Structure 1
Amino acid sequence: MGSPRSALSCLLLHLLVLSLQAQVRGAAQSRGPGGPGRVGGLEDRLCAQRSGAARNLSDPAPSCPGEGAKEQSGRALPKVTQREGPGGGPALGREPASLLRAGREPQGVSQQHVREQSLVTDQLSRRLIRTYQLYSRTSGKHVQVLANKRINAMAEDGDPFAKLIVETDTFGSRVRVRGAETGLYICMNKKGKLIAKSNGKGKDCVFTEIVLENNYTALQNAKYEGWYMAFTRKGRPRKGSKTRQHQREVHFMKRLPRGHHTTEQSLRFEFLNYPPFTRSLRGSQRTWAPEPR
């Protein structure tokens, strides 16, 4: 057996180890998971006291450990959250209004470009030329341009003076209308009266084709907006200043002249001869049987 002195020393050493372990556990519990410990709390309080004393003495506040990092992180955090999202992408819903408006600008610019180009005469593109008659809804006759420069809607179907040549002025629906027999353009003067001109380059000889809800077509003058080509029941032209889009006088129907053939090939039905359909004796199965001769 060992001496009593060695046993006493071993017991004291064991008690010392137990006391140290208890102190370590208490310090870990006081700090908590992820939170500052007692030592950190004491350091923060001492730093706050020193900074308050420095403010009273009008001296620059001493820098505490981690204070600069907090300020930098606080300053940089709003920039990151405003411009960057998770994964480095843009943060949705936090972009300035100017950037959001920029995304809608191309559409508005394109629409404005189309409107502006629709009002400008196109001299470079290939013009689309069509030939048809204008059937007046009120008079029941067709519009004609006579050699004496008179315009009315009293022509019968197939009349040579009722044959009109319509050529596009822009890539939109603006057209110039002239008589095929006389070569005179249908124009409108400042009083709203329909006149015939040999030179139809003016804006008063340009009309906009408007397809209405009832499938009729209205021709609005490009120079005098709101004024339409119109004819009375007797086929006489009506002043454009007294016309409105809903009136029957401004409604026309585009019809092909009599004897005029389109360039499109007519499609015909093709009939295929199949053997007659019969049933078997049992009735459960259906078979194809040749037609008895």
Structure 2
Amino acid sequence: MGSPRSALSCLLLHLLVLSLQAQVRGAAQSRGPGGPGRVGGLEDRLCAQRSGAARNLSDPAPSCPGEGAKEQSGRALPKVTQQVTVQSSPNFTQHVREQSLVTDQLSRRLIRTYQLYSRTSGKHVQVLANKRINAMAEDGDPFAKLIVETDTFGSRVRVRGAETGLYICMNKKGKLIAKSNGKGKDCVFTEIVLENNYTALQNAKYEGWYMAFTRKGRPRKGSKTRQHQREVHFMKRLPRGHHTTEQSLRFEFLNYPPFTRSLRGSQRTWAPEPR
């Protein structure tokens, strides 16, 4: 057996080795994966927090130690895409076109009275009592007086003779006929103002077919008409001796008492008008 002094020295040496091993383990745990010590581990944690905030804000990722190794390890970084919803602007021209085709049942009908002067015949359109329509009337003829009623918000109208009450319509063959009931779409015409300031009347039911008359004043079939032809050009004229029923608007002047001010800080007062 050895001496007690040698046994004590062996025990102290064994405790010293255990304490050194414990210190080595604690230092290794405090270093972490990113650096030589606690400072390196703290920097890694701060960098991770910054990178996470940058990903949420869709900013470029900051340069941190070990970031490239993480990307190469196969971990895909989330990408935040900003979706921008683009609303198409309303097509106002299409809206006006659609509303112009709808019959106006709300507003008061605008009624006008005029004559249609034919460019080819040099005379006016008339609706006779025998339901015949031609452009052979002189200026001021009672059968040439036409009453035009608006049908839609746009320029669609119904034309009837003031003397006979018959409406000018167009049948499926393109022939102008007179009807006592003008509620059909074949009795509706669209007024088109041309570049030469003449007016063309296109049928609403048969688009591309116009009211037209020959040089002798006879009606021409709508299927043979085009907008550029002289036969479809008309000029609106008031009947001879016709006066508008609208009264001229006159300004009315009202006498109010003059406006005066009282002392500063008090309310405004109205002074009586001197007589």
Tell me whether the two structures share a fold, i.e. TM-score over 0.5: yes
For Structure 1 versus Structure 2, the TM-score category normalised by the shorter chain is 0.5 to 0.7
With 62-71 and 232-241 compared, the bigger mean Cα shift is at 62-71
Name the counterpart of 1:59.
59
Q: Is 1:228 aligned to residue 210 of structure 2? A: yes
The normalised TM-score by structure 2 is 0.61
With 238-247 and 61-70 compared, the bigger mean Cα shift is at 61-70
Does the 8 Å contact 2:33/2:41 carry over to 1?
Answer: no
The normalised TM-score by structure 1 is 0.57
Counterpart Cα distance in 2 of 1:3 and 1:186? 142
Gaps of at least 5 residues in structure 1 are 83-104
What is the deviation of 1:117? 2.1
- Give the root-mean-square deviation of aligned CA atoms: 12.6
With 142-151 and 39-48 compared, the bigger mean Cα shift is at 39-48
Q: Secondary structure at the match of 1:113?
A: helix
Q: What is the identity percentage for the equivalent residue pairs of Structure 1 and Structure 2? A: 97
What is the deviation of 1:116? 2.1
Partner deviation per Cα, 1:1-22 (whole Å, 9 max, x = no partner): 9999999999999999999999
Counterpart Cα distance in 1 of 2:58 and 2:231? 91
Counterpart Cα distance in 1 of 2:237 and 2:53? 98
Counterpart Cα distance in 1 of 2:222 and 2:55? 85
Counterpart Cα distance in 2 of 1:24 and 1:150? 120
How many residues align structurally? Answer: 271
Name the counterpart of 1:201.
183
What is the deviation of 1:124? 2.0
Counterpart Cα distance in 2 of 1:119 and 1:50? 63
Pair 1:51–1:20, CA change in 2 (3 A): same
Does the 8 Å contact 2:34/2:41 carry over to 1?
Answer: no
Name the counterpart of 1:284.
266
What is the deviation of 1:111? 3.6
Pair 1:78–1:287, CA change in 2 (3 A): closer
Pair 1:56–1:233, CA change in 2 (3 A): closer
Counterpart Cα distance in 2 of 1:49 and 1:274? 76
Pair 1:68–1:281, CA change in 2 (3 A): closer
What is the deviation of 1:285? 50
Gaps of at least 5 residues in structure 2 are none
Pair 1:33–1:135, CA change in 2 (3 A): farther
Pair 1:17–1:218, CA change in 2 (3 A): farther
Does the 8 Å contact 2:32/2:41 carry over to 1?
Answer: no
Pair 1:57–1:189, CA change in 2 (3 A): closer
Counterpart Cα distance in 1 of 2:57 and 2:239? 104
Does the 8 Å contact 2:192/2:200 carry over to 1?
Answer: yes
Partner deviation per Cα, 1:189-240 (whole Å, 9 max, x = no partner): 0000000000000000000000000000000000000000000000000000
Pair 1:59–1:167, CA change in 2 (3 A): closer
Pair 1:56–1:120, CA change in 2 (3 A): closer
